[in-house]
Chains A and B, each alone.
Chain A
Amino acid sequence: GQQVMQIPQYQHVQEGEDFTTYCNSSTTLSNIQWYKQRPGGHPVFLIQLVKSGEVKKQKRLTFQFGEAKKNSSLHITATQTTDVGTYFCAGPSSNTGKLIFGQGTTLQVKP
């Protein structure tokens, strides 16, 4: 079946270092969405990418959607302790439109 995979599963960085998480889909996606879940919290929508090759920025966060619309990445520049949490990518299922979530990348930031 349709799958969305994310790597790495965990990432520990020193505050100020950069961080990247990668997302790959087994099928072409109409869009990809990114969510962040803080420890003990609920997932919060960050951004949606729709166009092939699209790049969007939110302050220190840069999101990319691949040319083939099968992969995506989230890059955080100069991480801060407030960036701690789990980042999920998600793409819609081709038949019902439900979102298929990647396993998530958990980011720990050492001050």
Chain B
Amino acid sequence: NAGVMQNPRHLVRRRGQEARLRCSPMKGHSHVYWYRQLPEEGLKFMVYLQKENIIDESGMPKERFSAEFPKEGPSILRIQQVVRGDSAAYFCASSPRQLGALGNQPQHFGDGTRLSIL
């Protein structure tokens, strides 16, 4: 029973390049969340998606960052024209469809993508 799969595990980019981070949720999960974590810091929420729908993108910078979760295939977090400050660990999490109260399902995290900008 595969968990949340993220790839690549490590990604190195030069300033100005594009970074694409992929996340395949657990089987049966229709909700995906992206978080960013700097060393020694907490998890910063970026975006919450369902299939073909962005539910909450309040934590994602308006410029250079975008996310999608298409009907088929993994969720993608895309960072255009990367800068040094984008270096961080990016975690994806998934959960099943919410039943009852919002946010009542535990989230299952992937191993993360460590993004380094040269």
The chain A residues found within 8 Å of chain B, CB to CB, are: 30-31, 33, 41-45, 48, 50, 88, 91-104, 106
The interface size of chain B toward A, counting residues with CB under 8 Å, comes to 24
Interface hits, B61-118 → A, CB 8 Å: 91, 93, 98, 101-104, 106-112
Main secondary structure of the interface of A (DSSP, over half): loop
Min CB distance A27 to B, Å, is 12
Q: Are A96 and B104 neighbours in the complex by a CB distance under 8 Å? A: no
Q: Are A99 and B107 neighbours in the complex by a CB distance under 8 Å? A: yes
Known A44-B109, A98-B48: A93·B42 in contact at CB below 8 Å: no
The chain B residues found within 8 Å of chain A, CB to CB, are: 33, 35, 40-43, 45, 48, 55-56, 91, 93, 98, 101-104, 106-112
Q: Provide the residues of chain A in CB contact with B40, threshold 8 Å.
A: 106
Q: Which of B41, B101, B102, B103 has the most CB of A within 10 A?
A: B103
Q: Which of A42, A88, A96, A100 has the most CB of B within 10 A?
A: A42
